[in-house]
Structure 1
Amino acid sequence: MLDDGRGLGVSAAGDPASKRLIVLCHPTPGAGGFDPNPTVTAQWPVHLLMLDRPGYGASDPLPEGAIPTIQDRADDLATFLASSEDEARAVGGADFGTVGVVGWGTGGAVALSLAARHPDLVDRVVAVGLPRASGVALGDTVRRRIGLSSMNAHAPLSQLTRALGAGPALTRASLGIADDDPALSRPGVAGRIDRMLAEASTQGPSGIATDLLAFRDRGWVDELPRITAATLLVYGDRADDGSDGSGSDTAATAAADGQWYRRRIPRSRVIRAAGARELTLVSHWRRILAHVAPARRP
């Protein structure tokens, strides 16, 4: 529970006794609990932590009248991590010190904001497939994928929530994942994604509406130069043009977006993942873990 009384949904994987903690920030729309590759995670001596954002899964929605921001979500993570470490110390548990953070899609914004606002907490970061945040790009990418009109996307919260509630159910295309994405052929991937989307819908459109409102504020971008963590910006090299109707678009996945962030983040570099598309997080999970937990590679 956070200081304001909001409850948080928390999922974990890997070794709970490991001193190396990795935080995974999920995309919009997506609840926590999605492990990109459980076999690899179990083999790597890390503790993987995943939190539901407000209105998703088991996390309480924001109170009426609250104005969400990316920075607030980053601070939620920092508060939870600090309290978790205090509790672990009190019972003689692991003292994890600094952490690694991974953000998938728009979750990369939260990951980068956490690193910028809490540089003493985060030592390594990976953002996977994060669209550039110039203009309203983050919100527009999500809007197109979930079939929301431009007018509704910029409407007040009540109208936005009604429009989302009347829209189609969430599918993999809502995340820009095409049916022929090569990572979907891996055992269990499709089922884990479908469960993540189902969890994202348990409270109706509350979580997505909160995310879309948060994307309107670009204050987190101004803080990016404060990041001191070693940062990887990872993009698949097989971006789709959306012609198959899947909702995937090149602008959201192109490595050029990574260069936009690289110019703003010290100690950052862009990686193009061979043969990968929207599920780069899945197909290159081992490489990602090697960055956020380099001294612990099995």
Structure 2
Amino acid sequence: MAGRLVQLSGGRALGVSGFGDALAQRAVVMCHPAPGGGGFDPDPTVSTHWGARIVGIDRPGYGASDAWRAGERPSFATHADDIAHYLSQIESSTSRISAMEIGPFGVVGWGLGGYAALALASRHPHLVDRVALVDVPDPGRFARQSAPQPPFRVADIGIAPAEPAFESTAAGRRIRRMLDAAATQGAAGVQDDFAAAADDDWRRRLRDIRADVLLVYGDQHPTVDAHLDGRRLRRRLPRARVVRVEAGTGLSITTHWPSILNHVAPRHGGVSPPLRDGAP
């Protein structure tokens, strides 16, 4: 569950979770999949020592974030503006309290959270300098899918239930807690995510993205593919490259978290050389 609530000017509240190094100058925004929740840390043993503060934000209808209000249109563009509002608050308060400048920010988008990450990078290019997209579906292929219903399953986010040792791993337990938190408000969050994905508002300004974008795809992911999804997205982005995780499955976000952080937060500290040099 989110660690704090942030009140937006329109009255809605955002649930915000923080992990990693709270005192670090470098900050990274984590955009969760659908269904999912902002409190998910892919690997706390890495995040804690990376030298970056990591912020997870529940999208409307998930966890502690208010659902879209009557008359509001679910929108990744609007959610990106909400994130930008919060990041601007972080910049202002940090500078006022400690005279330390933070930003621009790194952004990680996992699954459908990649659309929120791209919307943030395109609408607020001054705030974002690096983006990592992990197993993000091409919008055209995603449009043929239907929204899952709670109780949510790991298969809903592209993880096979028969994943080796998944049930007994710490990563598996964290993912199941994330899915449970995603269902706090029933299906509201995931239904609105699917509605927002069908709108092209977040796609209109992709050419405006100035950030370095890394698109990561597991070779054995059950629903997305580096060739079909990654290359189609790359063609829309000015500065992007696709990497394939050999034998990677729906768990690449956890198994390759050091490599992902190495892209979005390259100037880190307190990490052993094997982790530091693990870029894809």
Q: TM-score, normalised by structure 2?
A: 0.89
Tell me by how many angstroms 1:185 deviates: 6.8
Structure 2 counterpart of 1:284, from 256, 262, 269: 256
Deviation string 1:83-102 (CA, Å, 9 cap, x unpaired) is 12222223226431200000
Q: Paired residue for 1:237?
A: 219
Structure 2 counterpart of 1:141, from 128, 136, 145: 145
CA distance in 2, matches of 1:125, 1:183: 30
Structure 2 counterpart of 1:193, from 151, 162, 175: 175
Letter in 2 for 1:234: V
What stretches of structure 2 of length at least 5 have no aligned partner? 1-6, 272-280
SS of alignment partner, residue 209 of structure 1: helix
| Count of residues in correspondence between the two structures | 264
CA distance in 2, matches of 1:86, 1:168: 39
Deviation string 1:228-248 (CA, Å, 9 cap, x unpaired) is 1011011001133xxxxxxxx
CA distance in 1, matches of 2:227, 2:111: 13
Q: Is the 8 A contact 1:31 1:199 kept in 2?
A: yes
SS of alignment partner, residue 8 of structure 2: coil
Deviation string 1:34-74 (CA, Å, 9 cap, x unpaired) is 10010011120000100001111011111111111111111
Q: Paired residue for 1:118?
A: 124
What stretches of structure 1 of length at least 5 have no aligned partner? 147-166, 241-248
State the percentage of identical aligned residues: 44
Q: Paired residue for 1:35?
A: 41
Q: Is structure 2 residue 15 aligned with structure 1 residue 9?
A: yes
Letter in 2 for 1:138: F
CA distance in 2, matches of 1:232, 1:106: 15
CA distance in 2, matches of 1:276, 1:68: 32
Q: Is the 8 A contact 1:182 1:276 kept in 2?
A: no
How do 1:1-298 and structure 2 match up within 5 A? 1-92=7-98, 94-134=100-140, 137-141=141-145, 143=147, 146=148, 167=149, 169-182=151-164, 184=166, 187-240=169-222, 249=223, 252-296=224-268, 298=271
CA distance in 1, matches of 2:109, 2:165: 18
CA distance in 1, matches of 2:203, 2:48: 34
SS of alignment partner, residue 123 of structure 1: strand
- Change in CA separation of 1:112 and 1:42 when aligned onto 2, cut-off 3 Å: same
Q: Is the 8 A contact 2:80 2:117 kept in 1?
A: yes
Choose between structure 1 and 2: higher helix proportion. Answer: 1
Q: Is the 8 A contact 1:183 1:279 kept in 2?
A: no
- Change in CA separation of 1:93 and 1:35 when aligned onto 2, cut-off 3 Å: farther
Deviation string 1:114-162 (CA, Å, 9 cap, x unpaired) is 111111110000011111012xx3343353xx2xxxxxxxxxxxxxxxx
CA distance in 2, matches of 1:228, 1:56: 29
CA RMSD between the two structures:
1.7
SS of alignment partner, residue 18 of structure 2: strand
Q: Is the 8 A contact 2:62 2:183 kept in 1?
A: yes
Deviation string 1:221-271 (CA, Å, 9 cap, x unpaired) is 22111111011011001133xxxxxxxx3xx24432111111111110000
Tell me by how many angstroms 1:16 deviates: 0.7
CA distance in 2, matches of 1:275, 1:93: 45
Q: Is the 8 A contact 1:133 1:218 kept in 2?
A: no
CA distance in 2, matches of 1:204, 1:90: 39
